[in-house]
A and B are shown apart, each in its own frame.
Chain A
Amino acid sequence: MTETGEKKGLPDVFIEPINMSELDRGFRKEIQSMPNGEELSACFACSTCTSACPVANIWEIKPHQLIRMIILGMREKVLSSKEIWLCLTCFECQERCPQGVRVTDIFFDCKNLAAEENMIPDSIVALGKELLEKGQLYIVTADWEREDLDLEPDVPGLSTDAVKRVLGGTRTGRLVKGGK
């Protein structure tokens, strides 16, 4: 513990100890078995991903920390973090990783695991509901604009039934039915 008597403003604890008993040693393997997760262990925590991220400066847990937390097995903290949902999916981190770790893809994997446990923003479930009910994310509202340009009135070629049928049987269907 650090004495804070003389120097005001310093925290009581500089580094929050990691409770070993709370670690999930299987988390690393779980992510590595998911799409594009294989390279995870190659991370040597250089934090290039964090330097590349346009929004990391407002994240409490930085991208390189999330990756390190996955490797350590801090499953609960990673999956319940708000940061994974604030990822812009711009792939700047992934593109610059000198070790070939697919950082953005791994955050997608984390969001899928979080969603499976119902840790998902309502607004994302609402998008899933749109897809299930309407079969598309955007609906033509200004059909006169399409007419003015000699385009067919509806979204060309789109089958809304296909989306409803496919997603009705996957996690999207379960999440939407799950009472949101």
Chain B
Amino acid sequence: MSIYSLYMGCSVPANYPNYEASMLKVAESFELTLEYLNDVACCGSPNLRAMDYWGWALVNARTLALADITEHDIVTPCNGCFGSLKDVYHLLKHDTEYRTSINVELEAEGLEFTGTSRPRHFIEVLYTDVGLDSIRKKISKPLDGVGIAIHYGCHLLRPGDVTEITPEVLSELVRVTGAHVVEYPLWKQCCGATVLPVDEALAIRLARDKLKSMKEAGAAFVTVVCPACCNQLDLQQLGLRELYGEKFDLPILFYPQILGLALGFDEDEVGLGMNRVPAKPILQHFSK
């Protein structure tokens, strides 16, 4: 049994309790103990990084320092939080001068960034610490080979030297559930979430192009591991109907919802009714 410090961020708990609940169920199944990390700050998102790099580095270094005290790795289900934490971790590991300045500030609270606790995305913990074989053994209701397109989310994969996560991590996790991974031309493209405050039309257009590419490649469902990407791909589908007159009807599921169902949890336990585009059609694809 492994213990991790859990950092939820604000977007998952506020907007996607179905992601939070399904992640906790999946973690329990594999005896991963996720302990909520207390007194942590919001990561601020890439927009804080754009406006106030020092403040962004400081709030995230503070969170990392709190995790250091627990001596457990810090785990998050959100690409935005992961990107912020991992980027600041990378900076402080490589730039000793910056690290010293940050630690001078943190000292006022009796904190210090030591780098003991590594920031990790929940799916990478599943892939690395649990492993595909252990997951496979526990799957009681595999999928029937239905086509699922993966939207990885930029800050999960890039910059690669910082995130240290390759696309195989998620694509293998999807395959192990029995699904067929649908390849599509725009698989690397951004969902548009970051520019939403600056240019809404551009952000919506990017989400639309992405959905179109997935749909045309034959995806029946889509999986995501980030609340901001889910906003763009799930919630925006409703707006796209008005704006572009296009109806995609493409259900967007968080990966732990899919894995949770394959492990035998019921639809309420993974909060399937909360997905904006009705996701229940996926239930027909799990073996009885």
Contacts and interface: CB of A to CB of B under 8 A. Distances in A.
Interface string B172-200: 00000000000000001110101101110
Given A86-B195, A166-B62, A140 B52 contact: no
Contact of B198 (A123, A128, A151, A157): A123
A80 interface: no
A124 interface: yes
A160 B14 CA distance: 14
Interface residues of A, number: 62
B46 A89 contact: yes
B55 interface: yes
Nearest to A139: B14
A156 B13 contact: yes
Interface in A123-158: 123-128, 131, 135-142, 145-146, 148-151, 154-158
A21 B202 CA distance: 36
Given A86-B202, A157-B7, A146 B13 contact: yes
Contacts of B195: 86-88
Interface string B2-20: 0000111011011101101
Interface centre among A58, A88, A95 (most CB of B within 10 A): A88
A170 interface: yes
Interface in B190-247: 190, 192, 194-195, 197-199, 202, 206
A67 interface: no
A163 interface: yes
Contacts of B202: 55, 58, 86
Contacts of B38: 157, 159
B236 to A, nearest CB: 15
B50 A91 contact: no
A172 interface: yes
Interface of A: 34-36, 54-55, 58, 85-92, 94-95, 102, 104-105, 108-109, 111-112, 115, 120-121, 123-128, 131, 135-142, 145-146, 148-151, 154-160, 162-163, 166-167, 170-172, 175
